[in-house]
Amino acid sequence: MSRILLLSDIHANLTALDAVLKDAAANGPIDETWSLGDAVGYGPRPNECLERLRELDAIAVAGNHELAAYGSIPATDFNQYARTAIEWTGSVLTSDSRDHIDAMLLTIMRNPFTLVHGSPRDPVWEYIMAHEEAAQCLKYIDTRHCVYGHTHVPIAIPASSSVMRETRPRPGQVVELGDERWFLNPGSVGQPRDGDPRASYAVIDSTEMTVSFFRTEYPVEETQHQMQEIGLPDMLIQRLEFGR
Ligand code: ZN
């Protein structure tokens, strides 16, 4: 059996990332780790989060926040809070972090999954929240399934189904992939936006072809304190405790 840890939108929240790694390892060994973009941005520990991903030999695609912090896309494309955090992130990235981001691709194929941040049609900016967008995006992938991030909300969509439906998986829920073609989003490790402040992640069992969704608590106030010390925007600090 092969267990693949699915992480997305870590957003430089090292405390949340470490809680997720501990929680996932408690359920058995992890064979591979995939990061679906936005490991940096918003949060206080961008270099440390990228370093963790390197230690894990994680396969990582770039998200809009990596690209902006690196300078590949303009920070002016973001709202003022995100932009402030991006500019700070860009100013503290080490050369190892910059090299790491520079080597990230927008789309990676790991059969039977395609990895992207936003969507296969627009890996940087598109949000897939509903069945309709996922169904339209099927033609942009050469694999059976797609794993993605960007929404900061866990989602499972049977995109090939003629019945339009998308689910918001509950913690502990196991999705059996069966005959459908799925678009699967593990939610956000470091800045959840579904009203649950706990760190969100998922695990693929590539033998059983199931995806399990999880939430784990972490000391939110520790991350908030680190953000205060840096002087990151209050709005970004406060939203962590509400998961909004
Ligand atoms: Zn994000």
Distance 158 CA to ligand 1 centre (A): 23
In this predicted structure, what is the pLDDT of residue 1? 61
Helix (H) or strand (E) holding 15, with range, is helix 14-26
Query: What's the rounded Cα separation, in Å, for the pair 208 and 213?
Result: 15
Distance 38 CA to ligand 1 centre (A): 5
- State the number of CA atoms in the 13 A half-sphere of 84 facing the CB: 13
Distance 151 CA to ligand 1 centre (A): 7
Distance 179 CA to ligand 1 centre (A): 30
| Length, in residues, of the chain | 244
Cα angle value 134/110/199 (rounded, 5°): 65
Are the beta carbons of 149 and 9 closer than 8 angstroms? yes
Distance 163 CA to ligand 1 centre (A): 29
Distance 150 CA to ligand 1 centre (A): 5
Q: Name the residues around ion ligand 1, CB cutoff 5 A.
A: 9, 38
Distance 1 CA to ligand 1 centre (A): 30
Distance 78 CA to ligand 1 centre (A): 11
One digit per residue, pLDDT tens: the chain, 244 residues? 699 999 999 999 999 999 999 999 998 999 999 999 999 999 999 999 999 999 999 999 999 999 999 999 999 999 999 999 999 999 999 999 999 999 999 999 999 999 999 999 999 999 999 999 999 999 999 999 999 999 999 999 999 999 989 999 999 999 999 999 999 999 999 999 999 999 999 999 999 999 999 999 999 999 999 999 999 999 999 999 999 9
Residue 240 carries which side chain, given as an amino acid letter? Answer: L
